[in-house]
Amino acid sequence: MKGSGASVRGGVAHVFLAVALCLPLVAGGAMIGVSMVAQDSSELNLWLLTLLAIVFFAVVVWASLLPSVRQVEVSTARALLEYDERALPDVRSPRAWASRRRGVAWLALLVGVGLTVAAAILYLVPFGISLVSFPLSGDSTLTWPGIGKSTHTGSGWHAVWLVGPGLLALAAFLAVLGAAARLLIALAPRVLGPTLAERVGVAAERERVLARANAVARDLHDRLGHTLTAMTVQATAARRLLPTDPQATGRALAAIEELGRRAQADVDGVVRALRDSAKDATPLAGAPAAVDLAEIARALVQESTLDIEFPVPEALHVDHGCAEAAQAVIREALTNATRHGTGSAALRLHSHEQHVYIDVRNPIRHASPTAPQRAGLAGLHERVLLADGQITTGPEGGASWLLTARLPISRPAPTR
Amino acid sequence: MAADRQTAHQPASTNEMIRIVVVDDDDLVRSGLAAILDLEPDINVVGQGIDGVDVPALVARSRPDVVLMDVRMPRVDGIGATARLTERPGSPAVVVITTFESDDAVHDALLAGARGFVLKRARPEELLAAVRTVARTDCLVFPNAIRRIATTRRTTIKPAWARRLTARERDVLTHVARGQTNAEIAESLVVSVETVKSHLRSLLAKSGSRHRTELVVRCYEAGILG
């Protein structure tokens, strides 16, 4: 709880701000009020003054309902009352009426506190000072401020007892000030804190952030975990093979080298994902979030029941759009090869001048493809065209089917 | 050797070669593990597979004593392959290999009949110890690791068989869970090895377990073991 000296000092500062805030209201209200009760006001004057009072009131209400009121109040309260973002989070929907109502409520509280403390300053402070200093004044009759009654007290030492009530009045002022500060501190989170909708929004946001962090952690755990495990196993093998089989040791070391690259790529991917989640919610449109197409192809080959000849290329980083299109191409080609082929296929994947090239060649039983295959290929053509690529399919010789596709590795961000 | 139902397969005696197959879809892990194992004078890698699908044919062809089996594989995973393998009498002992210790699949594989599990990144000494333990003895492989995996999966309802265990059976169980051999248990409890075996038979029958690993996992789950 905010009971420390430091924050009470901040509370006092906020109370003085409240006093300053209520002064224009007091001044404006007093001016209009005094003019209205003045004896010499004509009918017309009275009407004009009423109109002025209405306008003044309307302006005050309009100004207090401005969306920015609560935002200013929140940042002021955070700075002076030393609340953190959890107790007083940023205003998420300042235009919502629930938010504006809270802004007005806090403003009214500030004005109320300001008026009270102003009254205390104007009455208790001069009163206390005059009592304390009375014995030194040489007067022998005290005129009580505010009441107008006089008391004969005697002068000098006879009036020393007045110092007591004087100090009491000053202490009362300090007590009012302290109570006002504590009141603001205690009420700020309740009056100014998040609305129900904002709390729900904050919770949802937190959930999204957590889910994103979880996804990144899972990704790191899975991908890097597998790569490091393979690396460890190969390193163990290399160490044990070293005395007896230099060639096998060399192969293990080459594997470790390759796995090191893979681990680096995994880490890069995770760091990129973290940066993306640090930037707003979603990766920026068209941001080059690279994916390793070689890895995707390898997974597809593993999934397939075909006997596939696939020389795995080195990591082939392409953007998401390209990867998705390429994945569709490879999957469709392998599916067709399974359906119409003889159980084997050859997949080639390489890149050249900002394009990836996919070749899938498979032996076929019949020279012409059947209708469903053509339908699938039509969809694929469309897909590849959308990715700014090219695709050709057709029989090659009498007993073989060839699909070749070319896709740009990355495309400029789409304009929105 | 009828104490454990699963051990229709005879553990290799200490001077016999241990025949082993390694099944893992990651080429580098599989070849690395095979190389490490093959260097041992008493271990012979007689086959390698890249998916659970390959396991029945691989085992029929190469007749291993031990199968080192990855839990996660694309077509048939280690759990399915282990279950299929261990349902037949005379099947080789399965040791599951895993990248992640917290993997739920490891637990499922133990209930599917695997004798134990080893982390793929384990030191070679641990890997070899696990292989030799399952090939040459009936004992638990890494009892503490099994305890860690099984105690996180406590069931809320105690199965009926858990209440039918005798005090003596519980004593035997406690020692089995520590990874002791029948002879060691007999010595601790001051009974004959035959008595220990008879208690074990009863424990396996009551819990419906194939072997002591499964028995211990089920007992941890049921809250009989701490």
ipTM above 0.85, yes or no: no
Q: B175-198: per-residue pLDDT in tens? A: 999 999 899 999 999 999 999 999
- Taking the Cβ of residue B101 and every Cβ of chain A, the question of whether any pair is shorter than 8 Å is answered with no
Q: What is the DSSP string of B153-178?
A: T--SSPPGGGGG--HHHHHHHHHHHT
pLDDT at A91: 84
Are B36 and A302 a contacting pair at CB < 8 A? Answer: no
Least confident of A277-291, A321-335, A352-366: A277-291
Structure tokens at B137: 């003895």
Least confident of A3-12, A157-166, B206-215: A3-12
Q: Report the gap between the CA of A246 and the closest CA in chain B (Å).
A: 13
Whether the model clears a pTM of 0.80, i.e. scores above it, the answer is: no
Mutual angle of helices A246-278 and A196-219, in 10-degree steps:
170
Q: How far apart are CA A168 and CA A132, in angstroms?
A: 10
Are B121 and A248 a contacting pair at CB < 8 A? Answer: no
Q: A113-148: per-residue pLDDT in tens? A: 999 999 999 888 988 888 888 888 777 777 776 667
Q: Report the gap between the CA of A299 and the closest CA in chain B (Å).
A: 9
Calculate mean pLDDT across residues A315-343: 83
Q: How confident is the model at residue A413 (pLDDT cuts 50, 70, 90)?
A: very low
More confident residue, A93 or A411: A93
The number of C-beta contacts closer than 8 angstroms across A and B is 52
How confident is the prediction for chain A on average, in pLDDT?
Answer: 81
Taking 90 as the threshold, does the pLDDT of residue A235 lie above it?
Answer: yes
Are B28 and A232 a contacting pair at CB < 8 A? Answer: no
With contacts defined as CB-CB under 8 Å, which chain B residues touch A242?
Answer: none
Taking 50 as the threshold, does the pLDDT of residue A63 lie above it?
Answer: yes
Q: Which of A228, A229, A251, A262 to mutate to test the interface with B (most CBs of B within 10 A)?
A: A229
Q: How far apart are CA A96 and CA B204, in angstroms?
A: 67
Taking 50 as the threshold, does the pLDDT of residue A281 lie above it?
Answer: no
Say how many CA atoms lie within 13 Å of A227 toward its Cβ: 18
Nearest-by-CA chain A residue for B36: A237
Distances (CA, A) of B209 to B117, B187, B205, B213: 17, 24, 7, 8
- Exposed / middle / buried, residue A391 (Cβ in 10 Å: 0-12, 13-18, 19+): buried
Taking 50 as the threshold, does the pLDDT of residue A416 lie above it?
Answer: no
Calculate mean pLDDT across residues A270-296: 62
Task: Give the strand pairing for A400-408 and A355-363.
Answer: antiparallel
Residue among A111, A159, A112, A165 nearest A135 (CA): A159
Q: What residues contact residue B220 under an 8 Å CB cut-off, 6+ apart?
A: B146, B147, B150, B151, B153, B154, B177
Q: How confident is the model at residue A366 (pLDDT cuts 50, 70, 90)?
A: low
Share of chain A above pLDDT 90, in %: 20
pLDDT at A293: 87
Are A302 and B74 a contacting pair at CB < 8 A? Answer: yes
Calculate mean pLDDT across residues A54-79: 89
Share of chain A above pLDDT 70, in %: 89
Is the Cα torsion angle A246, A248, A252, A255 positive or negative in sign? Answer: positive
More confident residue, A314 or B217: B217
Q: Report the gap between the CA of A336 and the closest CA in chain B (Å).
A: 20
CB A384 within 8 A of CB A321: no
More confident residue, A206 or B116: B116
Are A303 and B74 a contacting pair at CB < 8 A? Answer: yes
Residues of chain B predicted below pLDDT 70 = 1-15
Are A236 and B123 a contacting pair at CB < 8 A? Answer: yes
With contacts defined as CB-CB under 8 Å, which chain A residues touch B39?
Answer: 240-241, 244
